[in-house]
Chain A
Amino acid sequence: MARRETPEINAGSMADIAFLLLIFFLVATTMNIDTGISRLLPPMPEENEEQPPEIRERNVFVVLINKDDQLFVEKEIVDISKLKDLTKEFIMNPNDDPDLSEKRPETVDYFGEVMVSKGVISLRNDMGTSYGKYIAVQNELAAAVNELRNDLCMQKFGRKYDDLDPLLENENDLIEAVKKVIPMAISEAEPKVTTK
């Protein structure tokens, strides 16, 4: 029997097909990584829960955004660029100002006995406040706390707080310790209704 030779398949167009698919996936790909400000909401209060203990006036840092997106800090109109420094001053209270937050001694791992601020930031907004402004204020408050934590970490461990990796166990301990020394206590009251 004569051997029939199988004709070779022309693979010249293979590249074209592959290119076509490649271009499709190139166009369809989105490589964006989601980023944002993470927050933990407080759980819903249970019905028979007792009222939380009263907080002294000087320990509350009132930040209010009204319906026209104006920012009030402790009842005074303030530009958003100053919010970060005011927050830092309130939490640290370097000169023991009687109007700023009190401190209580506490023992924390790695730090020993330190003075921890009792201050609570109370963030209030109106129904008519724009979300953009709200996030800008949240961002400034977070920036204030993060800067304080960074400074503390730099002093104590010689590295930045942001660079600590929560997935490594020993570094996670450091993070927890720093969080205890500089807590981020933001309390969000439900907004008042003043506009529709």
Chain B
Amino acid sequence: MSRFKTARGKQVKAINTASLPDIVFMLLFFFMVTTVMRETELKITVRVPEATEIKKLEKKSLVSYIYIGKPHKVLQKTFGSEPRIQLNDQFATPDDIRDFITSEREQMDENDQKQMTVSLKIDRDTKMGIVTEVKQELRKASALKINYSSTKKIVDKRLLKK
């Protein structure tokens, strides 16, 4: 006889699972509310650099993104392997940036327009030439608040003490 069999005569009552859907729904709503769907599909690979002096970007509605990096492996046949700029869903040239900034600005409230921030998500292996071009275009479009997107670098404290 199996030792896991319950003692004879004692019937184990099934646990009431009626509240299980409620719990699951609660979790579901939490995740539904917090989820931010990715708006743009990246056609390039971006490994942003690491830094220690970073700040959080508040208010996502004020932020526009410019991506620079090498096209994905699959796309390299058509677009080459040189770093490219991506705005929204398409590849772009530096000349397109001004129109992009204008259209992004139009989508914002008037009060928010001054606070508009451009987040530059740039691959760490990109050459500065293209980055500088983009920065010049941003200056021309007078989108002066920028943020060099980077992730937190974990510094080994033991190395610092030396």
Contact = CB atoms under 8 A, between A and B. Distances in A.
Given A18-B24, A41-B138, A36 B132 contact: no
A18 B127 contact: no
Nearest to A14: B21
A34 interface: yes
B38 interface: yes
A28 B55 contact: no
Given A28-B35, A36-B119, A128-B128, A135 B57 contact: no
16 contacts: A18-B21, A26-B31, A34-B60, A35-B56, A35-B150, A36-B57, A36-B149, A37-B147, A39-B148, A40-B144, A43-B142, A44-B142, A125-B128, A130-B124, A131-B127, A132-B49
Interface stretch (A50-58, A86-94, A106-114, A136-144): A136-144
Contact of B145 (A15, A40, A134): A40
A194 B54 CA distance: 31
Interface of A: 11, 14-15, 18-19, 21-22, 25-26, 28-31, 33-44, 125-132, 134-136, 138-139, 142-143, 146, 190-191, 193
B52 A19 contact: no
A127 B152 contact: no
Interface in B1-40: 17, 20-21, 24-25, 27-28, 31-32, 34-38
B49 A136 contact: yes
Contact of A41 (B35, B52, B123, B144): B144
B75 interface: no
Nearest to A21: B28
A36 B150 contact: yes
A42 B142 CA distance: 9
B35 A29 contact: yes
A134 B54 contact: no
B73 interface: no
A18 B25 contact: yes
A130 B128 contact: yes
B29 to A, nearest CB: 9
Given A18-B28, A41-B139, A128-B127, A139 B51 contact: yes
Contacts of B125: 130-132
A22 B57 contact: no
Interface string B76-119: 00000000000000000000000000000000000000000101
B131 to A, nearest CB: 6
Contacts of B63: 34
Top 4 closest pairs, chain A to chain B, by CB: A132-B124, A127-B129, A25-B31, A142-B53
A36 B144 contact: no
A36 B128 contact: no
A50 to B, nearest CB: 19
B55 to A, nearest CB: 5
A125 B55 CA distance: 24
Contacts of A128: 127-129
